[in-house]
Structure 1
Amino acid sequence: MTLPMRRWLLVLAPALLTLLLGGGAARADTPTAQTFGIQPASATEPDSRGTFSYSVTPGALVKDHVAVWNYGDQPLTLRLYPADAFNTDSGGYDVLPEGKPSTQAGSWVRTAADSLTLPARSRQIVPFTLAVPATASPGDHAAGIVVSLRRESKDAKGNAVTVDQRVGARVQIRVSGALHAELKVLDARAVYHPSLNPLDSGRTTVSYSVRNTGNVRLGGRQAVRVSNLLGSIATGAAPADLQELLPGNTVSYHFDVSGSYPVLWSTAGITVDPLAVGADKDPQLSSTVAKQGFASIPWALLVVLLPFALIGYALRQRRHNRLTGIPALPAPVVAGALLAAALLLGQLPLAPHASAAEAGTLASPADTGTLAFDYETGHDDDAIDVLTSGLCPAAGDYLAVRITGAGFPAEGAPLTGTVAAAAYRRAANGGYVLPLANTLRVVANRSGAGPLHGAYTVTASCRAKVAPTSLRDFTGVLNFGTPTSWQAVTVAPPGVIQEAAADPQTGTAPTAGQTGAAPAGAAPGVRRTAAVRTASSGTPVGSWLVMGAGVLLLGWIGVPYARRRLAGRGAGEDVK
């Protein structure tokens, strides 16, 4: 920092998500409703490419162009620079900030200008060159060309604040040579957390990292299951698919799995199936599997049964010293202990265990809101912002947007990654402003949907970070009259999306986590349960075994006691 009181705040424009997740034309809205953007172009005009993608040989020199737009009503001075790309710990796609030197693919790109002054409502085509080093390694290399707007202001305390807003276009480079596609699971850990309820199965916290140890970018489908010595299997809600993991990068996961009854020792198994990204032609893809054993001891149940075991031990000791009569322990105490044990063991068949019927959440019409688009008509290559009618049920929820309709898979195709709801701007209506990370054309091409036609539903789903179960949905519909043009059924009120600007006091937008009020439109009493599946829907084998052991314990304690009791009564009758 150049001044003691100076704070540098980096505010990522909504359309930066387009850069991070591979969209086409990127556009940013500034706090004063000035907009700017960037997209691939020819020497004369912008083109239809979603990203810059090249297949080259070492030492190749590529010349291309990028279009920079000023959509606003005022002149703008913008910075233009290339930067290395990388994955964040959570799997997001990011680029180095300006001022941090690039050492990989970002250093291969040179733009003809690093600063542009654009009149209102204008664009400029900027040439750039991609010089691939002769020593470049085979495989994928990623970078971005970023345009940024930096503004100076002061907060309420008089501190200098710099707001740096960025959008960009991705640069994907594949250098020819031997390709190797591989994902590895590293640092797998599993820890069992017993429930205070001795009849509950508790939960297992599983954490691990997935690293791309090959030289091509990869997606991935994941599965995690926990099994015990008795063969009972619990499968946690599947982690979200890896969208794109760059070579040498790592993404980490941490979540809970319920449903496996503790029987002293269990095993967590993690499977990751590599997937090609987009139209990439990768070498043979092989799954990776990691297993981690861990202790799963039912401490609560053992604590409950321990007094019964002590009572049995005491009675057995007395048996050696006295042939008849009542034990030294008062009869009511022993009778109460036996009754408590009987009640406890009688409930074991009803012990909670996960099943397909228990998975999911309670759905109701109140869980669904509306999704409005920022303009009434548009094209399949437009950058789109959508507005939710309310908030997610909890401030810590995540949001993911997908599209369903003709040509897309039944589950839909993603329009964004899974992003913390608190990261999005809040609008005047109390909802979120969600910039779609990909243009509809890019999504259709990647999904093999072909020309778009008819009605398509766009759904923003509130969910936990790693559980796909929806906690609340917001839906909107686009009608495609032609393969390239659409009309929105629901349109956001004029200015609402644009006015969802950064707080002038802090330079950041208010989030759901910063408000004390309950989320607007949240359904009261919504039960949120992580989806869990088990191998069987009946009583767990472990429960029956524990119950059987309890019955034997009761017999061991109760039968000798009853015999001594009867013997004592008989002796008393003889005396009479």
Structure 2
Amino acid sequence: MRTRVARIVLPVMLTLASAAPASGQPSEPSDFALTVSPTRVIVPADQIERPRQFTVTNHGRAPIDILVRKASFTAGRDGELRFRPDAPHSAVEWVTARPDSFRLEGGAARQVSLHIALPATAEPGEHQVAMIFSVPPRPGGAGVGVRRSVGAPVYVTVPGQAVESVDVTGLRAPGFAVNGPLALTATVRNAGTVRREFVGDGRLQAQVAGETVPFPDFTLLRGADREISTRWADPPLFCVCRVTVAAAGPDGVTREATATIVILPVRLIGSGVALVLVLLLGWLLLRRRMRSRPYPC
């Protein structure tokens, strides 16, 4: 799995959700094309002491200088990352990258080792840190220098009892609609001590009118809230529909939120009423016309 940045794009590319494997190498080398593999690292509690390896590859033509730094992060309700020095459950002080700076020639690759040292007072549960591989602006360049970076999240599980607890705290849906598609937005909270992956077959789903409407893949960090939206593409023509979004825990307890949508095809009803009125008016005119005719002697 790889994250690729070509030329000048975002200051940092960092993903929290499982990503599809890269389709291949860049077909033509550019001035800047940096990849880091894997795109994220998960460190189980029983493998803390085993070093992890990142492969950093320069697919560009020119040599680049790379700085390896680390940052605390959390996630907003929209799923976007927030780099904050005071982010909760940070492992930023526990990890060391070797080397933390190096030059990489065009077309070359290098291994960077990640070492983890837990403090004696580390709280059980999962902690996270972002490893950021940056290329500083070249000195003497014209205009504004841009730092180009690729980031990879690292999740470290401290030994101890892990708690998995996810709650669906809210569900927004239109109370009244005339047709689809309809937007459904769920609010999910992770009250446990480890992240929760809603991906693949384990995606969050809405049950409505006998249909299953899946939400997009996402990762919910420990202690985080997330609003996630999907679209119900093809609702029925008429329905008083109950929408349910549920998240099952490992203890077998399911937490859910519900909403009701009334779907009423106002346009069709209006057209039907208009047709009935036209027929009724025609019948009345015909009846009046028939009455106005003289009776034959």
TM over 0.5: same fold?
Answer: yes
Aligned-partner SS, 1:300? helix
* CA distance, structure 2, for counterparts of residue 169 and residue 224 of structure 1: 29
Does 2:31 match 1:32?
Answer: yes
Please name the residue that 1:101 is paired with.
85
Q: Which residue identity is paired with 1:337?
A: L
TM-aligned CA deviation for residue 176 of structure 1: 1.0
Matches within 5 A, 1:145-294: 145-152=131-138, 159-168=143-152, 170-177=154-161, 179-194=163-178, 202-219=180-197, 220-226=202-208, 233=209, 235=211, 237-240=213-216, 242=217, 244-249=219-224, 250-262=226-238, 265-273=240-248, 283-294=250-261
TM-aligned CA deviation for residue 124 of structure 1: 5.8
Aligned-partner SS, 2:268? helix
Please name the residue that 1:54 is paired with.
44
* CA distance, structure 2, for counterparts of residue 563 and residue 69 of structure 1: 86
* CA distance, structure 1, for counterparts of residue 64 and residue 133 of structure 2: 11
* CA distance, structure 2, for counterparts of residue 118 and residue 210 of structure 1: 43
* CA distance, structure 1, for counterparts of residue 280 and residue 191 of structure 2: 59
More strand by share: 2
C-alpha distance 273-28 of structure 1, shift in aligned 2 (>3 A):
farther
TM-aligned CA deviation for residue 33 of structure 1: 4.8
Percent of pairs with identical residues: 13
* CA distance, structure 1, for counterparts of residue 177 and residue 82 of structure 2: 38
More deviation, 70-79/291-300: 70-79
Does 2:23 match 1:81?
Answer: no
C-alpha distance 563-184 of structure 1, shift in aligned 2 (>3 A):
same
* CA distance, structure 1, for counterparts of residue 259 and residue 38 of structure 2: 46
RCO higher in structure (CA 8 A, sep ≥6):
2
Aligned-partner SS, 1:80? strand
More helix by share: 1
* CA distance, structure 2, for counterparts of residue 171 and residue 133 of structure 1: 18
Number of residue pairs matched by the alignment: 277
C-alpha distance 308-122 of structure 1, shift in aligned 2 (>3 A):
closer
More deviation, 146-155/285-294: 146-155
TM-aligned CA deviation for residue 339 of structure 1: 8.7
Q: Deviations over 1:395-436 (max 9, x none)?
A: xxxxxxxxxxxxxxxxxxxxxxxxxxxxxxxxxxxxxxxxxx
C-alpha distance 238-38 of structure 1, shift in aligned 2 (>3 A):
closer
* CA distance, structure 2, for counterparts of residue 184 and residue 172 of structure 1: 25
Q: Which has the larger radius of gyration?
A: 1
Q: Which residue identity is paired with 1:209?
A: T
* CA distance, structure 1, for counterparts of residue 70 and residue 262 of structure 2: 50
Q: Deviations over 1:141-175 (max 9, x none)?
A: 232323222334999xx641404121436233244
Q: Deviations over 1:461-498 (max 9, x none)?
A: xxxxxxxxxxxxxxxxxxxxxxxxxxxxxxxxxxxxxx
Q: Which residue identity is paired with 1:238?
A: P
C-alpha distance 152-224 of structure 1, shift in aligned 2 (>3 A):
same
TM-aligned CA deviation for residue 110 of structure 1: 3.7
Please name the residue that 1:296 is paired with.
263
CA contact (8 A) 1:224 1:269 kept: yes
C-alpha distance 203-154 of structure 1, shift in aligned 2 (>3 A):
farther
C-alpha distance 154-284 of structure 1, shift in aligned 2 (>3 A):
farther
Q: Which residue identity is paired with 1:128?
A: H
Q: Which residue identity is paired with 1:246?
A: L
C-alpha distance 51-223 of structure 1, shift in aligned 2 (>3 A):
closer
Q: Deviations over 1:30-49 (max 9, x none)?
A: 94256464669xxxxxxxxx
**TM-score, normalization: structure 2?**
0.67
* CA distance, structure 1, for counterparts of residue 188 and residue 151 of structure 2: 28
Please name the residue that 1:144 is paired with.
130
Q: Which residue identity is paired with 1:53?
A: V
* CA distance, structure 2, for counterparts of residue 90 and residue 285 of structure 1: 28
* CA distance, structure 2, for counterparts of residue 166 and residue 295 of structure 1: 46
CA contact (8 A) 2:97 2:112 kept: no
Gaps of 5+ in 1: 1-7, 41-49, 196-201, 227-232, 275-282, 312-335, 341-557
TM-aligned CA deviation for residue 292 of structure 1: 0.7
* CA distance, structure 2, for counterparts of residue 302 and residue 148 of structure 1: 61
Which residue among 95, 115, 121 is the counterpart of 1:128?
115
Which residue among 329, 334, 337 is the counterpart of 2:279?
337
**TM-score, normalization: structure 1?**
0.39
* CA distance, structure 2, for counterparts of residue 295 and residue 23 of structure 1: 38
* CA distance, structure 2, for counterparts of residue 132 and residue 564 of structure 1: 95
CA contact (8 A) 2:17 2:218 kept: no
Compute the RMSD of aligned alpha carbons.
4.7
* CA distance, structure 2, for counterparts of residue 116 and residue 127 of structure 1: 13
* CA distance, structure 2, for counterparts of residue 260 and residue 299 of structure 1: 13
CA contact (8 A) 2:70 2:130 kept: yes
CA contact (8 A) 2:125 2:159 kept: yes
C-alpha distance 64-564 of structure 1, shift in aligned 2 (>3 A):
closer
TM-aligned CA deviation for residue 567 of structure 1: 9.2
Q: Which residue identity is paired with 1:188?
A: R
Gaps of 5+ in 2: 1-7
Q: Which residue identity is paired with 1:140?
A: E
C-alpha distance 140-190 of structure 1, shift in aligned 2 (>3 A):
farther
CA contact (8 A) 1:182 1:285 kept: no
